[in-house]
Amino acid sequence: MKYKTLLTTLENGILTVTVNRPNALNALNADVFSDLDDVFSNYAPSIDNLVGVIITGSGEKAFVAGADIKEFSSIDAKGAENLAKRGQGIFDKIENFNRPVIAAVNGFALGGGCELSMACHIRIAGEKARFGQPEVNLGLTPGYSGTQRLVRYIGKAKALELLLTADMIKADEALRLGLVNYVVPVGEEVAKATELLTKIGTKAPFAVSKVIECVNAYYTDEDGQNKEAVAFGECAATEDFVEGVSAFIEKRTANFTGK
């Protein structure tokens, strides 16, 4: 699939999406948002036997270094609110996508870039990755749910510190705080993400999608326990459940078909 600001590759059921604006440190602009929206609304859902998605950035310096500030120069209050709501909506699509989405963070993940990484289900950081929400330096708050997801991942006190000081943190600190799942040598971010998705790809696809739904329900007004119970019942009605139980009893590897 061809996009204006993204490169995409599909191999063994894994879709890799690369934000491709290296001269702008992969900054998020209107075109990037439109392209990401199409990937998660149309392209990725249309892929048969999709295992998951990896999002990364082009070049060695940045995953996504933030929003494209040039687009803010003439914006008014209502325009800024609408811009934030559009970004939030697209990032929500990523968070609620029914296959795992992994951020392979290969450099700066600042502002909107940090928010994009947090919308993904899992984050892999290269050793030179840097995370931060520097919006107060511009007289702004984060706009794409940064104040919400950062608290979710690292807790209120530390999130407030980073949001109010605009400090960046290194990959090892992000790991210690629980913001990322793994820190790997530079250049191995996508490989680690691929390794994880390959492992997840051996599991029952419907069950994987329901796990994502149930975990996300914890952070909404939904009754997460009820959703889990319903999902448990839905999974029990699948052919993959029968196969999984049979394989366990017969001490063999399950052959899941997604049915």
Based on the fold, state whether residues 231 and 183 are members of the same structural domain: no
Output the pTM of the full model.
0.95
162 and 45 share one domain: yes
Terminal Cα distance for the chain, rounded: 27
Give CA–CA dist 99/32, Å, rounded.
21
Provide the domain limits for residue 40.
6-200
State whether 171 and 214 are in the same domain: no
246: left (phi over 0), alpha (psi -120 to 50) or beta: alpha
Q: Is residue 235 part of a domain?
A: yes
Residues 218 and 127 in one domain: no
Are 13 and 35 found together in one domain? yes
Same domain for 82 and 168, yes or no, is yes
* Segment 175-207, tens digit of pLDDT: 999 999 999 999 999 999 999 999 999 999 999
pLDDT (tens digit per residue) in 55-87: 999 998 999 998 887 777 788 999 889 999 999
Residues 189 and 240 in one domain: no
User: Within this chain, do residues 95 and 209 fall inside the same structural domain, yes or no?
Assistant: no
Q: Do 128 and 222 belong to one domain?
A: no
Q: Show which residues are catalytic.
A: 115, 135
The last residue of one of the domains, among 200, 225, 240, is 200
Residues 58 and 164 in one domain: yes
Q: How much is the pLDDT for 159? A: 98
Task: Give the total number of structural domains in the chain.
Answer: 2
Q: C-alpha 129: how far from its chain's center? A: 16
> How confident is the model over 107-128, as pLDDT tens digits?
999 999 999 999 999 999 999 9
Q: In terms of domains, do 105 and 156 share one?
A: yes
**155 and 55 assigned to the same domain:** yes
Q: Is residue 14 one of the residues assigned to a domain?
A: yes
Is residue 255 situated within a structural domain? Answer: no
Answer yes or no: are the C-beta atoms of 83 and 54 closer than 8 Å: no
Whether 20 has a pLDDT exceeding 90, the answer reads: yes
